[in-house]
Amino acid sequence: MAPPAADVDIQPSPAVLDLPIKAKTVPGHSSDSRLAGPLEYSGSLDSFDQFDVTAVIGREFPKLQISEILHDDSKIRDLAILVSQRGVLFFRNQDLNIDDQKLLGQRLGELTGKPETSKLHRHALSNSKRGIAVDENGRLDDEVSIISSEQNRKFYADRAAQNSKKIASEGWHADITFENIPSDYAILKIVQPPSDVGGDTLWASGYEVYDRLSPAFQKLAEGLTATHYQPRFVQVKDAFGAELIDDYRGAPENKGLDFKAVHPVIRTNPVTGWKSVFGAGHQVEAGWINDVTRRESEIIKDYFKQLITENHDLQVRFRWNKNDLAIWDNRSVFHTATYDYAGKRQGNRVVSLGEKPYFDPNSKSRREALGLLE
């Protein structure tokens, strides 16, 4: 969980694609999605080899070099739509440099209607202050989260060590949901896989978690909000003297050291128009479901986590090789690392900020939208 900074200009290039703009639900509110409705995939990536990794989640492009399409807005927009539909996309042995990765992270959201005020996230803890370079030239960058096994073992020894006695499934989460404006897309490139073995990442579909609720429970969850809370950063600050970024973290609303935000339990993804369970997993472990009793909150949290962790058929697992890259949609996907290796592992993660989370009662579930309901 980290980020560091850069000098590349990632401001929007001249508009090539017209976005349907929606009227602001709050006059002058800058954190809404700009989409009037779900986007349709145009088919611009159909000529590239690709396959679904599971029926529910994940697609791999085994030969495509993203650098070859990076400046083609139609293809990048379609790429974002596929990420949102399939949850996570995988690419092998990518030659993207860190500036390219940052540009891609910003363009995925810009081309699919994210607010103009949402930029790349500056992680409070995993930033340039940790002194970990993002490239071979020693560059430090607050807009790149360094995924470092050495840093994790230092700050999170209770769960990041190979011999940890914690239940591994406790780690399921979506990125930075403690921010008022959390992430839409994340891009992770593993630049150094473990020298031994292991270090896989797993993803799980929040769309499918929603579809496995009964209609009555769906209705209950749709009326709830949850407080997402991450106290570990302040604990690390106090224990290790680690300086945190407490001002601007990629959006005007993301600042301070509370690391606490209220979001709908069921979230609508503006790109697909599909409903997803959002208030679940590690992001609400220290948080709670609002407006219910403490016991009711724990029951709901435990049940949602059980649906994520115990349904292997809504998960996908990816084994990394050097320079492999994954892109996922944090609005509708949970993921977790696997700490089963002794060697050093490092990756560069770019986390884009999206819209303020919302629930649209007129949105559909994934199964409903795809005609998969029984």
Burial of 97: CB neighbours in 10 Å, binned 0-12, 13-18, 19+:
middle
Say if 30 falls within a structural domain: no
The three-point CA angle 83-181-183 to 5° equals 25
The pLDDT value recorded for residue 19 is 58
Report the alpha-carbon distance of residue 33 to residue 270 in Å, rounded: 7
| Strand 266-268 relative to strand 183-192, pairing | unpaired
Exposed, middle or buried, 271 (CB in 10 Å: 0-12/13-18/19+)?
Answer: buried
Contact 255, 248 (CB under 8 A): yes
Q: Is residue 35 part of a domain?
A: no
Residue 10, pLDDT score? 34
Q: Mean pLDDT per 10-residue run, the chain (374 residues)? A: 34 46 48 96 98 98 98 98 98 97 98 98 90 84 88 80 79 97 98 92 98 98 98 94 95 97 98 98 97 98 98 98 98 95 91 98 98 87
Report the first-to-last Cα separation within the chain, whole angstroms: 39
Amino acid 223: pLDDT = 98
Identify whether 233 is part of a domain: yes
Which H or E run includes 369?
helix 366-369
- Are 277 and 304 in contact, with CB atoms under 8 Å apart? yes
Evaluate whether residue 113 is within a structural domain. yes
Provide the domain limits for residue 148. 51-369
Q: Does residue 195 fall inside a structural domain?
A: yes
Task: Assess if residue 25 is contained within a domain.
Answer: no
CATH number at residue 211: 3.60.130.10
- Give the count of domains, the chain: 1
Q: Looking at the domain assignment, is residue 12 inside a domain?
A: no
DSSP-based three-state secondary structure for 84 = helix
pLDDT for 16 equals: 45
